[in-house]
Amino acid sequence: MRGAGREASGRGVRCPPASPLAAAAMALLHTRRLLAAPRLAAARASSWWSHVEMGPPDPILGVTEAFKRDTNSKKMNLGVGAYRDDNGKPYVLSCVRKAEAMIASKKMDKEYLPIAGLADFTRASAELALGENSEAFKSGRYVTVQGISGTGSLRIGANFLQRFFKSSRDVYLPKPSWGNHTPIFRDAGLQLQAYRYYDPKTCSLDFSGAMEDISKIPEKSIILLHACAHNPTGVDPRQEQWKELAAVVKKRNLLVYFDMAYQGFASGDINRDAWAVRHFIEQGINVVLSQSYAKNMGLYGERAGAFTVICSDAEEAKRVESQLKILIRPMYSNPPLNGARIASIILNTPDLRKEWLVEVKGMADRIISMRTQLVSNLKKEGSSHNWQHITDQIGMFCFTGLKPEQVERLIKEFSIYMTKDGRISVAGVTSGNVGYLAHAIHQVTK
């Protein structure tokens, strides 16, 4: 019965044989496809973008996508660097809601900001970073421009250094550093170098290695320092170590680029978190500085940030500001309005500023508490490992010391997602899941 046609799947009904007309039509269609294939291939080959290769996926985005696909009710996403409350939910600060209400009640316009940004915001940002009693701040020998959060502010600085810092093209980053630092400086035309910072054997600061490497950096090079809550390790120098670092940096006559994305969020104290920046300036080291309000005000999507240059005097600051404006104009003309308004109102309204300081300390304290609870639960599980580095580290991120194969087991066996290097966002840990996390870590490390 071969010529009688095929049975329809699952129905037991025989399909009638194709008519000669239908068969001819199918043959013609097939011929056209064959003829079209070379033309399509030629069109692709002649495309302007045929040489563009598929880029590698973002490692953190990949973690999030895998997490979303997972159906385990106990799953945890410890990859994303955004604060969550103790219920694992995004958190909007009360002071932010109040600032937004004030903006709405005033029915403010949506006109362009100046190229350098909202003046009340940039002044308040400089005061927050430098301190109200800072000589550099009071004398006006600084310039601060608004940037598109921390990333955009870093890029303004990178472009400025590429154009005006003639002594060197080398930027020395700590090993490791935030993943975006490398493309920010590289794409601005600067050369990336590195100095030792983190010791994976002890999960702590390799201070002697850092000091040795920094002491050998060629004079008048650029060095990047994380002001607080080093990302990704959570390992910060102590104040006495910062003093030694400042001394060697000054001796080598290095240009210091501070990245301060976590002021207030690291320890809960805005002055403590800015201590290194202020100490370097007090030692006569004229730094450049990037700030972000993503973490400490929860303004992630508002993209509020600032870039500051400490100059020798107010007149030099005016010249630098003029050139920063010339750099910014073709990049994005002027910065976003809403986030700067929110941050400015909070920083410049005494009651809201006071409320913010309480709220940012609350966020920092929850992160610190989760670190303590994780170590406590690991001990309860019977772990014989030393987990002190988890509580010694600070800020949103923790380098757990977990190996890639252990991370793989956490993902496959427990649905706990993180990057392969063992970095976790402590913000993803809650009082409801910290016990489960400790149990899982113990299982893969015992």
Is 259 an active-site residue? yes
Catalytic residue at 412? no
Single out the catalytic residue among 75, 213, 273, 295.
Answer: 295
- Determine whether 187 is an active site residue: no
| Annotated catalytic residue, options 75, 98, 178, 206 | 178
Catalytic residue among 259, 273, 356, 387: 259
Which residues pair with residue 223 across a beta bridge? 172, 256
Q: Which positions are catalytic?
A: 178, 259, 295
